[in-house]
Chains A and B, each alone.
Chain A
Amino acid sequence: AQTVTQSQPEMSVQEAETVTLSCTYDTSESDYYLFWYKQPPSRQMILVIRQEAYKQQNATENRFSVNFQKAAKSFSLKISDSQLGDAAMYFCAYRGTQGGSEKLVFGKGMKLTVNP
């Protein structure tokens, strides 16, 4: 079974600084998707960024970028120029492609605090 591990339960960063959130996963599949979701205090999870495993190029979305290391099964999220609105729970998630499964497998999440 696939698993997703976020080993850091909490992190903090100064406003305008850069922070990297780590995530590792375990799977026997070669084709899959990886996601980072943000859950602000309002509780609604929002997709931040996604990465297809077959793409070698790391995904970027404005201030958010990933470092996808397929061999190491590592998928970290870098937030540049951190803003107060980035404060939230961040979840790393995996979705396989075998057997038509659509389910997401989540990590435990990490609480990010942004200090002014």
Chain B
Amino acid sequence: EPEVTQTPSHQVTQMGQEVILRCVPISNHLYFYWYRQILGQKVEFLVSFYNNEISEKSEIFDDQFSVERPDGSNFTLKIRSTKLEDSAMYFCASKAGRTGAAGELFFGEGSRLTVL
């Protein structure tokens, strides 16, 4: 069964360092998302991406964050200068369409980011 894959599964970084989290969405999907979950807190929406541009972003997604789909298969989340409060599990998700069965969102297993 096709699935969304994420790498790395766990990354430890120093505060101020740049981090890139990678995701390979399901191949025929057109809508891509990043969510994050700080330990003990709710899963929060970060950004949605469609047709090679950001379609929606939350207030969390400030200038330190960027997303890219560089080669038609990968979907990356970059944090330019990590802060302690960026420590969280980051989930990538994708879906084929907007309605009906195509609108089902598939999540990856997550990338745990620890900022020291």
Residues of A within 8 A of B (CB): 4, 37, 42-47, 50, 91, 93, 100-109
Residues of B within 8 A of A (CB): 3, 31, 33, 35, 41-45, 48, 55-56, 58, 89, 91, 98, 104-105, 107-110
Cross-chain contact A108 with B41 (CB below 8 angstroms): yes
Number of A-B contacts (CB under 8 A): 48
The answer on a CB contact under 8 Å between B109 and A91 is no
A-B residue pairs, 8 tightest by C-beta? A103-B45, A106-B43, A45-B107, A44-B109, A43-B109, A43-B110, A108-B42, A106-B42
Give the CA-CA distance A90 to B88 in the complex, in Å: 19
A91 in contact with B58 given A43-B109, A44-B109, A45-B91 (CB within 8 Å): no
A47 and B48 form a contact (CB under 8 A): no
| B48→A103 contact, CB < 8 A | yes
| A81 vs B35: C-alpha distance when bound (angstroms) | 32
